[in-house]
Amino acid sequence: MVNKLKEKLQSGEVVVGPFVGLNCPDLVEIMGIVGFDFCVIDTEHGPMNPESIQHLIRAAELSGMTPVVRVTEASPTNILRVLDVGAKAIHVPQVNDVQTAQMVAKASRYYPEGMRGAAVPRALEYGLKPLKEALEEANRDTMVIVHCENVEGLSRLEEIASVSGIDMIFVGPYDLSQSLGIPGQIMHPDMREAVGRALSIIKGAGKPAGIFVTSVEEAVQRIQEGFNYIAYSLDSLIFGLACKEQLAKIKES
Ligand code: 3PY
Ligand code: MG
C-alpha cells in the first residue's frame, strides 16, 4: 500500500491531521471521510497499545487517511510493534541527540537501511506477498518523524536533522515550552524564537517541518510561517469543543 502522506509531502502539499487519543475506530473513520490527510494515533499519552491501535489503523486505511502512530518513547521494541500492526509513519517523542535519532532510523527499516526485526506481520500482509517486494516497499514507504521538544534537542537539531532515514522533524510546542520554563505559553517571545530557530534548521536540512496546533488560527499562522505538516488538535478536544459550542448556542437562544 502506498504512503499517500509521503507522496503529498514530496509534492510540496501542506498536510493536516488530528491526534487520536480515543480508542474509537468509528471516529477515526469519520475523520478520514471529512478529508484529513493523516491521523496520529497516540500511545505516548493514554491507554492504547498495539492491539487496540490496529483497529484504528484499519479505520484510517479504509477512509483514505495515512495512519501515523506516536510511540511511547524512543525504543526499538515500541517502534517495531506499531510498525508491525501497520503504522505508515511513526512519531518519536523527545529525540534529543544524534545517537537516539540514528537508533530510531535503524529500528524503523529493514536491512540494508536498518535492522527492523523481521517477521511476517499485518504490515507485510501476513507474509502473503513476495517477501523481497514487501521488505522493499516497507523501507520505501515508512516515514520516521522525530520530535524536537526540548532545549537539549533544539541545541543539537542540526545534527539530528541531518541523520539519514529521519524524514521529518516535528516541533512539540507544549513540551518545548515546558523545557524553556514557560509551560503552555506557546506565543511567548522565547517560544517564538525557539520555534523560528527550529524551523530554519529543519528547512535548511531540506526536510518537511511539522508542528502541533490547537486552533484554526494557529494552523493558518504555522502554514504561513512555513510548516508543512500540521497536527491539528486532538479527537477528544475537537469533539468536546464542538459539543460545548453547539450546546451554548442552543441554551442562549
Ligand atoms: C508537544 O507539544 O509537546 C507535543 O508533543 C504535541 O503533540
Ligand atoms: Mg510532546
Contact by Cβ (8 Å): 170, 147 = yes
Ramachandran angles phi, psi of 170, nearest 5° = -115, 125
On the question of a cis peptide bond just before residue 50, with omega within 30 degrees of 0, the verdict is no
Which residue in this structure is represented by grid cell 517571545? Answer: 189
| CA 247 / ligand 2 centre spacing (Å) | 31
| Full set of structural domains in the chain with CATH | 4-252 (3.20.20.60)
Active site amino acids:
45
Amino acid (1-letter code) at residue 172 = G
Contact by Cβ (8 Å): 245, 33 = no
Strand partners, 168: 145
Taking the C-alpha atoms of residue 127 and residue 185, their distance in angstroms, rounded to an integer, is: 48
Torsion of the alpha carbons at 145, 151, 154 and 159, rounded to the nearest 10:
-90
- H or E segment to which residue 235 belongs: helix 235-252
| CA 45 / ligand 1 centre spacing (Å) | 10
Please state, as a whole number, how many other Cβ atoms lie within 10 Å of the Cβ of residue 24. 16
> Which residues have C-beta atoms less than 6 Å from ligand 1?
147, 149, 172-175, 212, 231
Q: What is the pLDDT of residue 2?
A: 80
Contact by Cβ (8 Å): 110, 116 = yes
**Residues of the chain predicted below pLDDT 70:** 1
Q: What is the pLDDT of residue 122?
A: 95
| CA 94 / ligand 2 centre spacing (Å) | 7
Contact by Cβ (8 Å): 86, 123 = yes
> Of 170, 175, 169, whose CA–CA distance to 151 is shortest?
175
First-to-last alpha carbon distance for the chain, in angstroms, is 49
Torsion of the alpha carbons at 200, 208, 166 and 75, rounded to the nearest 10:
100
Q: By alpha-carbon position, which residue is closest to atom 5 of ligand 1?
A: 172
Helix, strand, or coil here: 108? coil
Strand partners, 247: none
How many angstroms separate the most distant Cα atoms in the chain?
Answer: 64
